[in-house]
Structures are given as C-alpha cells and as structure tokens.
Amino acid sequence: MFKNILVNALVNLGDVVLTTSALALIKKNFPETKITMLVKPVVKDAVIDNPVVDDVIIFDYKAKENSFKKMRELVSEIRRRKFDLAISFDRKLRPALITFFARIPRRVVPSKVFDDNKSRVTLLYTDVVEISHDLNKTLQAETYQEIVRKFFNIEGHETPKFPEKNSLAADKLLARLLDAKYKIALCVKGTFPLKTWSKEYFAEVVRELKKNYDAAAFFIVGAPNDRNYADEVIKEIGGGVENFCGETSLTDLAELFRRADLFITVDTGATHIAATTGVKMVTMYGCTSPDRWHPINKNAIALTSREPCCPCTFKAEQCPTYPKPACLQNVTPAQVLEAAIKFLGDST
C-alpha cells in the first residue's frame, strides 16, 4: 500500500476545502499514510495544521516570472521526498509536468473534474480514473471522493475538514460589535459578478432583520479587495454594520463563523469554510448550481431560482439578462428572510 502521497490541488479556496473530504476518506482507510498537499500560497491556511494533511508544499509562481526555474527547483524537492503516489484533483498541466519529471512511480488523475472536456494532460499520468457521473448534478466533494474510491477500491463518504485554532484576531474583531444576542455574518461579494447578489437586496434583508431582531449585530467578511464594495453595501443599508474584509486569516474567518449565530452569503470559498464549522447559513446561488456546490452542512439552506440557462459559464456582459441577471434577481429578499427567520426563531 502507498505510504507517501502527494496531492496536488492548485485550485481556488473553495475547491481546496472540498478536496479535504477525499483526504479524510484516505486517512480513514489508511491512517498510517502520509499525505502532503501541493497548493498555492493564498490557500495555505486551509491545509496547514489540517487534521487530514501531514505536510504542505507551497508552490508560489507567477506566469511573468521565471516559473521554469521555480518548477525545476520544485521537481528536485519533490524527487527528494520520494513520494510513491501522486493524486491530481485539477488536471492542470503545470503539476502534471512536475510530478512526471519528479518520477513519482504512480500518478493518478480523473478523466474529468471541472468540465466534460477531454484533456491531453491525462497522458502524463499512469492511471486515469474514469468519472462517469454528471458533474453538474453531483456535489463537487463527491467527485473528489469518487477519484479516491475508485483508485483505492474503497467505499464511504466523508466531509471536508478545516483547521481549528484559537484566534485572538477573532476576539478583537467581535469586540467591535455592539453587545447583542445574535451575531450575523454576511459575505456580500462573489468572485465574479454572476455570483454577487445585489446591494439593494442585501440592504433590504439586513434592514428587515434589524427591525425584527433588536438584539442583532452584523458584520461583513471577505478578502481585502472586497472592502470597498462592502462599504458600499453598508452605505446602502444605512450603516450599523462592521466591515471585517481583509482583516482575517482563513483560520480567523473560521473562528468567526463558529461564534456566529447565522451566516448569509453568496456562493464563494468562505461558504465552504463556514460549512465545516456547522454554523447556520443561508446561501444564494446565481449562475452556479447548489446541486454541485451546496454547503456540506446540515444547518445550511441553499436558495436558487433554477433558471433554464443555469448553470452557465457566461461572463457577466454575455448574460442575456445583464446587468440584472435573472438567476440572482429571482432569488428574493423575502426568501432569504424566511430562511433566516427559520434559523433565528421568534423576533425579540
């Protein structure tokens, strides 16, 4: 059996979190196996000290820099570590070349993972795991686990894992909130426009919740480049909401979710971090499908209008209903309020 596995996931935050469900499945069946993850710097906090990850290699490269030199150095480092198996969760060319030239004897890749397109990258691997299910109708975490189940010939289902650490930063941020019975977190901006619910809708939801729950404090989370947009949403609300964008590490963010009473969010990486904490959450889906990206959390409600054109891969300006995409406009504040009230209970 394999004792030293390299897992490459040079993908975005949400996907990295979801891949840990597959690693948990490996660990459950082969607890003595050492798992090392190859990831981008921006997601390192999601895997360092993760209970199903033993070691982490950070691959920091930029296309305009001397990435060939960095690749050569990384190949040497990986060869030195003597991995006996490499598993790819992304089918990207760069990690395929790295593991190929590092001479890892077994290299596993799925036949498909993000779309149904064929890829010549699979020629660089020794084993191609056939994925036969409909990607858009299957939770992405299950796709990652199916790669593992088929290759190792094992069964079972696991949930994503995330590091749990004490956070002084979370303490300081929450101290900025008014003393309140309920702490309600918001994530107001997606990674692209067709994931971003309107400012007006968010404002309506928060104003109504403030009316119904006098003892509620609100805060917005997000990346540093979300901060200005969050300020615009707060202005639309009429103030009274703290902006924490750019002030947390990923583990700080997870700690904020553990202490929140409710999280209202668009579909983004923070959604999947939150899901690992069990926080009560309401997620609004636009161009993406909850059938594939639903938070793996029994306390989650996913809202979608299921437009006939969704899921889609349009750029915002290509959307037939742009600048007010129907998939987002038809998920209404009333629906979000109904879901939030279901979690919070009677008003105070």
Q: Which domains does the chain have, with CATH numbers?
A: 4-152 (3.40.50.2000), 168-344 (3.40.50.2000)
Which of these ranges, 86-90, 112-116, 220-224, 314-318, has the smallest mean pLDDT?
314-318
pLDDT for res 300: 98
How would residue 313 be classed by pLDDT, with cut points 50, 70 and 90?
A: confident
Query: Please, what is the average pLDDT of the chain?
Result: 95
For 20, half-sphere exposure in the C-beta direction (CA atoms, 13 angstrom radius) is 28
What is the mean pLDDT of the segment spanning 294-306? 97
From the CB of residue 188, how many other CB atoms can be counted at a distance below 10 Å?
29
- CB crowding 40-53: b at 16 or more within 10 Å, else e: beebbbbbbebebb
User: Can you count the helices (H) and strands (E) in the chain?
Assistant: 12, 12
Q: Taking 60 as the threshold, does the pLDDT of residue 25 lie above it?
A: yes
pLDDT for res 82: 97
Q: Taking 80 as the threshold, does the pLDDT of residue 35 lie above it?
A: yes
Read off the pTM: 0.95
Contact present, 234 and 241 (Cβ < 8 Å): yes
Percent residues over pLDDT 90 in the chain: 90
pLDDT for res 89: 95
How would residue 68 be classed by pLDDT, with cut points 50, 70 and 90?
A: confident
Copy the structure tokens of residue 58: 């950070």
What is the mean pLDDT of the segment spanning 22-40? 97
Which of these ranges, 52-66, 74-88, 226-240, 286-300, has the smallest mean pLDDT?
52-66
pLDDT for res 347: 63
Q: Taking 70 as the threshold, does the pLDDT of residue 225 lie above it?
A: yes
Whether the bond into 323 is cis, omega within 30 of 0: yes
